[in-house]
Amino acid sequence: MAKFVYGIDLGTTYSCIAYVDETGRAAVINNSEGTNTTPSVVNFASPTNVVVGQVAKDAKIIEPGQTVDFVKRLMGKSDFAISYNGRDISPQEVSSYILRKLTEDAAKLINEEVKDVVITCPAYFGTAERDATKKAGDIAGLNVLEVISEPVAAAIYYGYTREQSKKNILVYDLGGGTFDVTVMAVSSDVIEVICCEGDHELGGKDWDETVMRYIAGEFNSRTGYNDDIDESTQADLRLKVENAKKQLSGREETPVTLDVAGLRERIPISRATFDELTAALLNKTVDLTEKALTIARAKGVEIDEIILVGGSTRMPQVPRILKEKYGKEPRVLDPDEAVAQGAALYAVDVYINKQKSIFTWEENVKNGGGDAALPPVENAGAFKETLAGAVKTRKARKIIVTTTKSYALKVLVDNKDEKCNNLIIKNTRMDGDEINVTGHFGTQEANQETVELVVYESDDMNEYYDVDDDLIIGTAVLALPENLPSYAPIDVTFTLNKEGMLRVHGKDLTGNREITAEMHAKGIMTTEEVEEAKKHSSRIVVL
């Protein structure tokens, strides 16, 4: 039977899964309700059943305490999403149920177990958030080939669907809970990310909340009702408002009906009012777009095209303002499906590359070279299956990304001020699989016994910035030989891989003592915690 690999867009509000079919074409796989996207909402219906999707979204009104939405906003930020059945459940585990819903539904349609996946995340996700995304896949029992950025996936889809010469594109991605803007140079075989900016607290949800406040205010002034609106009416209003917002993308006016405490009002809202109410939100996206363009220009890149991704770009205000500002008609790309399909196409590339390296390694070992005990990739055996149909002859494209965060070490400047010294700066080109930067430092005082390496992750792009301990992602302690003078040389190397994982290596050049540490950002789950969550998950049926 044919073997497929999959791409998953694990979205804030909706998620989507796609694969590359026998003809080499990316296609979205519908869920068991027959829709191409699935609301990213998880309802803990009973100790043995979890419901994901539209039914869970509807259940949020009746069981708000048992239902989680917008879990993506917690990924890598918190180790707690909900407490249910006497257990605290992590965002990773909640997300794993969304992944299980998508993959289990897809497996039924494709008639094959879904195993190898590429999952997407916003471009500005840092180490902890990317790790959380991968762990969600681990808990769901998937083999996560790679976690890639959503706009990169969108660009792959774009680059793949058209024959073209090299073009510089700006991907404006406004989803349900996040905003991401990325400048990329795209040709048919290379995709280079030039820079990205974003705000993960900005998305369709904020447009909804603005309108909710307006409707509630109108309701109060029309009816004289003054009390708070209870949680379940709020949830109901949220659904109605989201629906009205979508209606306003196609028509000039639509009503929202609100029932509170026996009072009922039908409140019309026009597109003009909607645009006026939400202008400040839209302007925030324009400012971030401007910022990305400024960075791109500094690197000598002018954009040729603007691409819109994400459900919220269907609001007419989005293409209108971009056209006004940049004089270019933005191109709309299957907003709901582009990311998952691009991820699926990329999954094929990753799979083929892994397969190639295994075959080369086997060949080497057979000819007496290489180390038989050290296969080049994990689960080597699993990569031997031949992919379905035409895809196996396709040339894998190259992706050049930039760093999505800055990484700094705490240092003492001029022997007095503690500062964060960025060794790796956000938006730096990463040509290979990883980037290495070494800083040369010295011990502070004579006979120092240890050096504490304190590592920070931030969006700050300056060489030095003020210490902010909220930004610490890890520490490592380097033991020193005895009797060192002050200023004894210490080298610290940061190695960041394409997936945003950081390795820190400290070395004292006098005694050659070394320490290497993987940075465990706050909220990173340990292997034991993943295993524990997996155990729970395996006892739960996802509906």
Dihedral sign, Cα of residue 508, residue 509, residue 511, residue 514: positive
Q: Is 317 in the site for ligand AMP (CB under 6 A)?
A: no
Nearer to ligand AMP, 159 or 176 (CB): 176
Residue with tokens 């280079």: 192
Choices 74-82, 290-298, 305-313, 371-379 (CB under 6 A): range interacting with ligand AMP: 305-313
CA 446 to chain centroid: 45
The Cα–Cα gap between 179 and 498 comes to: 21
> Least separation, in Å, of the C-beta of 72 and ligand AMP?
9
Choices 134-142, 266-274, 308-316, 463-471 (CB under 6 A): range interacting with ligand AMP: 308-316
Task: Classify each residue of 445-464 as buried b or exposed e, where b means 16 or more C-beta atoms within 10 Å of its C-beta.
Answer: eeebeebebbbbbbebeeee
Q: Is 12 in the site for ligand AMP (CB under 6 A)?
A: yes
Nearer to ligand AMP, 247 or 475 (CB): 247
Nearer to ligand AMP, 161 or 249 (CB): 249
> Least separation, in Å, of the C-beta of 206 and ligand AMP?
9
Q: Is 72 in the site for ligand AMP (CB under 6 A)?
A: no
Choices 24-32, 241-249, 291-299, 422-430 (CB under 6 A): range interacting with ligand AMP: 241-249
Choices 73-81, 215-223, 244-252, 414-422 (CB under 6 A): range interacting with ligand AMP: 244-252
Q: Is 31 in the site for ligand AMP (CB under 6 A)?
A: no
The Cα–Cα gap between 225 and 55 comes to: 31
331: Cβ–Cβ under 8 A, 6 or more apart, which residues? Answer: 305, 306, 307, 308
CB atoms within 10 A of CB 468: 11
Q: Is 35 in the site for ligand AMP (CB under 6 A)?
A: no
Query: Which residue in 122, 137, 151, 311 binds ligand AMP (CB under 6 A)?
Result: 311
Residues in the chain, how many? 543
Query: Which residue in 53, 91, 310, 500 binds ligand AMP (CB under 6 A)?
Result: 310
Query: Which residue in 11, 76, 198, 342 binds ligand AMP (CB under 6 A)?
Result: 11
Choices 11-19, 22-30, 389-397, 423-431 (CB under 6 A): range interacting with ligand AMP: 11-19
The Cα–Cα gap between 18 and 26 comes to: 7
Q: Is 480 exposed, middle or buried (0-12, 13-18, 19+ CB in 10 A)?
A: buried
Query: Which residue in 3, 73, 246, 284 binds ligand AMP (CB under 6 A)?
Result: 246
Helix (H/G/I), strand (E/B), else coil: 71: helix
Query: Which residue in 14, 19, 214, 361 binds ligand AMP (CB under 6 A)?
Result: 14
Q: Is 13 in the site for ligand AMP (CB under 6 A)?
A: yes
Q: Is 39 in the site for ligand AMP (CB under 6 A)?
A: no
Which residues face 79 on adjacent strands?
Answer: none
3 state SS for 105-135: HHHHHHCCCCCEEEEEECCCCCHHHHHHHHH
Query: Which residue in 60, 238, 240, 245 binds ligand AMP (CB under 6 A)?
Result: 245
Q: Is 122 in the site for ligand AMP (CB under 6 A)?
A: no
Nearer to ligand AMP, 53 or 506 (CB): 53
> Least separation, in Å, of the C-beta of 310 and ligand AMP?
4
372: Cβ–Cβ under 8 A, 6 or more apart, which residues? Answer: 365
Q: Is 175 in the site for ligand AMP (CB under 6 A)?
A: yes
DSSP string, 117-184: EEEEE-TT--HHHHHHHHHHHHHTT-EEEEEEEHHHHHHHHHHHHS----EEEEEEEE-SS-EEEEEE
Q: Is 314 in the site for ligand AMP (CB under 6 A)?
A: yes
The Cα–Cα gap between 201 and 176 comes to: 10
Q: Is 233 in the site for ligand AMP (CB under 6 A)?
A: no
By rule CB under 6 A, what count of residues binds ligand AMP? 18
279: Cβ–Cβ under 8 A, 6 or more apart, which residues? Answer: none
Name the DSSP class of 226: -
Per-residue contact track with ligand AMP, 376 to 415, x per CB under 6 A?
Answer: ----------------------------------------
| Site of interaction with ligand AMP (CB under 6 A) | 11-14, 175-176, 204-205, 242, 245-246, 249, 310-312, 314-315, 336
